[in-house]
Amino acid sequence: MEFTLFFNGFSSGNLWKFIFLILNFLFLNIIYNKPNKINMFRQVW
């Protein structure tokens, strides 16, 4: 059931667009907020 839903989204291309948007968002956040991310990482540990 889950595989068929995944395959339908994969064939339609919506899944690829969704993944691409998420990856773009994370990539931009890592580039522009690199010092902030490192500070947050240090605070957590």
Domain boundaries, position 30: 16-45
Q: What is the pLDDT of residues 22-36, one digit of tens each?
A: 888 888 777 776 666
Share of the chain above pLDDT 90, in %: 0
What's the Cα-to-Cα distance from 15 to each of 7, 11, 18, 28, 33, rounded to whole Å? 9, 8, 5, 20, 27
In the prediction, which pLDDT does 19 show? Answer: 81
4 belongs to a structural domain: no
**Lookup: tokens for 32:** 């522009």
In a domain, 2, yes or no: no
Name which of 5-9, 11-15, 19-23 the model is least confident about. 5-9
Is 39 among the domain residues?
Answer: yes
**This prediction's pTM:** 0.39
In-domain check, residue 23: yes
- Residue 43 belongs to a domain: yes
**Does residue 40 belong to any structural domain of this protein?**
yes
Asked if residue 11 belongs to a domain, the reply is: no
Q: To which residue do tokens 């667009």 refer?
A: 17
Check whether 9 has a pLDDT greater than 60.
no
Amino acid residing at 18: F
In total, how many domains does the chain have? 1
